[in-house]
Amino acid sequence: MLGFIAKRLLWMVLTLWVIFTVSFFLMRAVPGGPFDSDRALEPEIEANINRYYHFDEPLVKQYGRHLWNAVRGDLGPSYKLSDYTVNQVIAQGLPVSMALGVLALAFAMCLGLVAGITSAVRRGTAADVVLMSIATIGIAVPSFVVAGLAIILFVFVIPIFPAAGWGSFDQLILPAMCLGAPYAADVARISRTSMLDVLSQDHIRTARAKGLSPARVIWGHALPGSLLPVASFLGPAIAGILTGSLVIERIFAIPGLGSHFIEASLQRDFTLAMGCVLVYTVLVYSMNFLVDISYSILDPRVELD
């Protein structure tokens, strides 16, 4: 286990360095800069700004300076948010995005597992057809379309939730449902297929032959074995929820990290955009790492390499 953890940490460092390097040079290759505006600056003012932010240095020297600061945990100042550093912006926005993502993932897992297991147990019935039809539609419809329909239905037609904003739990429920709905559909289909496979195995037939109740057979013997494919899907699901939250945060006016990332990209705030990219990379890599660890917990036969 220790060797596996050390190897994955080394790969994470290498991945972060590659992403930092590619992102840095791609951002600098885009025409324009963070201080371009409709009003032309005086040459002296522009020169002072470039000197203050080291834009007058060679690009390789700027890369080395930013890389060393990032290694020390200093992501630099935000070019567009005055009096704020990138670390401060991330510290304010990340908890908001994490709260939205955790609730969306919990919603997707709970709804998806219940729907998938119910569909597998009642295979071929009307409930199976209805649940899998809804799941297929849920996979095909993107989250921003779900968000638009949900706002119309649950804000205007049936006024249950607020339309946007942040500050109360009610304002978090609807965005989390819209963000997690497509992944709940994926979890439902994956868990159904996995449950049907487990239910056809010999140890399930043995458990039924011993006279165990159907509930105990399903929850005690079939469910643990059917969770491995769902655990495999958690890595891509978490990555999708993190990247999908950018759109959802924008629609519902949530001040999370995704909103800052979009603004940084539009306004060419290089340091803030780079900080968001690195944070998302660490989160996605860490979640995939935890998913790999969970394999050995769910199935002791799985060996970590």
Of 47, 41, 188, 48, the C-alpha closest to 121 is: 188
The whole-number pLDDT of residue 1 equals 67
Amino acid in position 105? L
CA distance 89 to 51: 24
Confidence of residue 17 (pLDDT cuts 50, 70, 90): very high
The whole-number pLDDT of residue 244 equals 67
Task: Give mean pLDDT, residues 190-208.
Answer: 79
- For 93-298, CATH gives 1.10.3720.10
Q: Could you tell me which residue, 208 or 169, shows the higher pLDDT? A: 169
Q: How many CB atoms lie within 10 A of CB 112?
A: 27
CA distance 76 to 85: 6
On the question of pLDDT at 18 being above 90, the answer is yes
The whole-number pLDDT of residue 299 equals 61
On the question of pLDDT at 4 being above 70, the answer is yes
The whole-number pLDDT of residue 224 equals 72
The average confidence (pLDDT) of the chain is 81
Tens of pLDDT, residues 275-289 = 888 888 888 777 777
On the question of pLDDT at 157 being above 70, the answer is yes
The whole-number pLDDT of residue 240 equals 75
Confidence of residue 304 (pLDDT cuts 50, 70, 90): low
Tens of pLDDT, residues 81-126 = 777 888 888 888 888 888 888 888 888 888 888 888 888 888 888 8
Task: Give mean pLDDT, residues 121-144.
Answer: 84
The whole-number pLDDT of residue 39 equals 60
The percentage of residues in the chain with a pLDDT greater than 90, rounded to a whole number, is 3
CA contacts within 13 A on the Cβ side of 229: 18
Domain boundaries, given as residue ranges, for the chain: 20-71, 93-298
The whole-number pLDDT of residue 14 equals 92
Tens of pLDDT, residues 51-90 = 777 777 788 888 888 889 888 888 888 887 777 888 888 8
